[in-house]
Amino acid sequence: MQKATVRTFHEMRATALSILVEKHKKKKVLRSIESTLFPIKARLQPIYVWEKYST
C-alpha cells in the first residue's frame, strides 16, 4: 500500500511536470502564432466588430 501511494505520487508529479512543460511549449507556440496573426487580426477587428453589432 505504502509503495503504491509513493509510486502514484511520483507518477502524478511526473505527469504534472510534463503537463507544465507541454503548457509552456503551447504558450510559446501560441505566442509566436499570435505575433504573426496580430497584424491580420488588427485589420480584421473593425470588420468583426461592425458585423457583430450590425446584426
Per residue in 14-42, pLDDT (tens digit) is: 898 898 889 988 888 888 877 887 777 77
Confidence of residue 9 (pLDDT cuts 50, 70, 90): confident
Question: What is the per-residue pLDDT for 43?
Answer: 75
Q: With CA atoms as reference, report the closest residue to 20 among 6, 33, 28.
A: 28
Question: What is the per-residue pLDDT for 4?
Answer: 62
The CA distance from 41 to 31, in Å, is 14
Put simply, whether the predicted model's pTM sits higher than 0.75 gets the answer no
Question: What is the per-residue pLDDT for 6?
Answer: 66
The CA distance from 22 to 28, in Å, is 10
Q: With CA atoms as reference, report the closest residue to 53 among 45, 28, 7.
A: 45
